[in-house]
Amino acid sequence: LFIDGDVLVIDKPAGLPVHAGPKGGPNLEQYLDALRFGLPRAPALAHRLDRDTSGCLILGRHPKALRKAGILFSSGRVDKTYWAVVEGAPPADAGRVAMALKKETPKQGWKMIIAKDGQE
């Protein structure tokens, strides 16, 4: 989607994890070397998206760019917008979902659930 001397922005498809999971399988990190575009090292992830999430993913093309991107993310200077495909229509054009979430880790893997004792 975008490339300059510092960053590369790609469109990550849903279903592809960015890191290898405990069971292995295809993941984005396996393909980063093909995205060097003339630089001596492969780009690295500036942030992550969940396996089932598609969208823009920012990669740092060298260590200094990766550090700068990390500072932007950690300082809250990067806005993320999430869109969802839903059946039907919400009652208003805009709104906020405010529910506490908690990580649940059953034997088959972890998932996020709505829970009163979760994180706001």
**Active-site residue, selected from the candidate residues 4, 11, 50, 79:** 50
Question: Which residues sit opposite 60 in a β-bridge?
Answer: 7, 44
Tell me which residue has tokens 């009652």.
91
List the structure tokens of 86.
């839903």
- Phi/psi class of residue 24: alpha, beta or left (left: φ > 0; alpha: ψ in -120 to 50)? left
Cα–Cα nearest to 80, from 49, 51, 101: 49
**Is 6 among the residues known to form the active site?**
no
Active-site residue list: 50
